[in-house]
Amino acid sequence: MSSSPASLPIGNPLVTVTRPKPYLWIIELHNGVDNRLTHDLIKKGIMPALDIVEREWREHRWAALDKKKIEEGKGALIIVGKRDQDKFFSNGLDFANSSKDPNFFQLTFDPMLKTYRPDSSITPVPTIAAINGHCYAGGFMLSLACDYRVMTDGSSRNAWLCMNEVHFGAPWPWSFTAILAAKIGDHRLQRKIALEGHRFTPQEALRDGILDNIVKGKTIDVLAKAEEIADKFSGNACHGVWGLIKLTLYHGVLDTINKDYRLVNPITDDAAARSKL
């Protein structure tokens, strides 16, 4: 049963899933002006959208297997910010509201990062973040959870990548540190991202290996490059092992997230320090 195109949630769409090619799905984020990663966007938009993508790809692959044409079972997913603007991929969390929920990371954000589905092993097709504007904090982490990252070069409009939590007093959940360590191997670059909160230009991020490509132009051009990558690597999904290999490649990330650590915030940390002094 095919569901795309679909806009989710019904009545207040924050995400749209389209399928421009039999083996390609695009999830467009369109939550307000800057795509804050809220409870509703994640739980009622992104997660069910990913369910649609996985179900349709598996149906697509099973049909290819039935025809004994395994090469037709390829697949890829692109995640992009609002297509009708060139300013934001995602500006991160709605911190004021997410910080009120002590279980936000463990029960909402982390399931999206660790598997893109809470009841599945790991994303079974290549995923490409089409970063068509600013990419901050939780949005940056969402892009790191993807397999490839393509970004506007910022020549027509400024675009930055930044993990800026250190500048406004938000501790990192264990999921962030695990993904950063898995995807960014240089400890100096980890320090620059996490502890300095450096604001990367696209050119810097490409040079440092955070991005795979930068593209001159608008969202349509960023998407075109993302589709090139999808076309190149979508065939790697046809044997059904893309997700299984990633499961072993990133087992440390999943193990860390599944331990369900709870955050220590600056208030409780300060209170503990005071009690010892």
Taking only the tens place, the pLDDT of each residue in 206-240 is: 999 999 999 999 999 999 999 999 999 999 999 99
- Residue 114 is predicted with a pLDDT of 64
Q: Render the burial of 106-136: b for 16+ CB within 10 Å, e for the rest.
A: bebbbbbbbbbbeeeebbbbbbbbbbbbbbb
| Averaged pLDDT score across all residues of the chain | 92
Lowest model confidence (mean pLDDT) among 46-50, 88-92, 146-150, 253-257: 253-257
pTM of the model: 0.93
- Residue 255 is predicted with a pLDDT of 87
Lowest model confidence (mean pLDDT) among 4-13, 150-159, 242-251, 263-272: 263-272
Query: Measuring CA to CA, how many Å separate 266 from each of 171, 184, 270, 271?
Result: 8, 26, 6, 8
Place 116 in a pLDDT band, splitting at 50, 70 and 90. very low
Angle, vertex CA 111, rays to CA 252 and CA 134, nearest 5: 95
CB distance 171 to 252 below 8 Å: no
- Residue 41 is predicted with a pLDDT of 96
Residue with the larger pLDDT of the pair 7 and 4: 7
Q: Check: CATH 3.20.20.300 for 6-275?
A: no
Answer yes or no: is pLDDT of 277 > 80. no
Could you give the percent of the chain with pLDDT greater than 90? 77
CB distance 130 to 214 below 8 Å: no
- Residue 117 is predicted with a pLDDT of 42
- Residue 111 is predicted with a pLDDT of 87
Mean pLDDT throughout 117-141? Answer: 84
Query: Measuring CA to CA, how many Å separate 235 from each of 58, 63, 65, 71?
Result: 14, 15, 14, 7
- Residue 122 is predicted with a pLDDT of 66
Lowest model confidence (mean pLDDT) among 13-17, 18-22, 40-44, 263-267: 263-267
In whole angstroms, give the CA distance from residue 192 to residue 162. 10
Q: Is 246 helix (H, G, I), strand (E, B) or coil?
A: helix
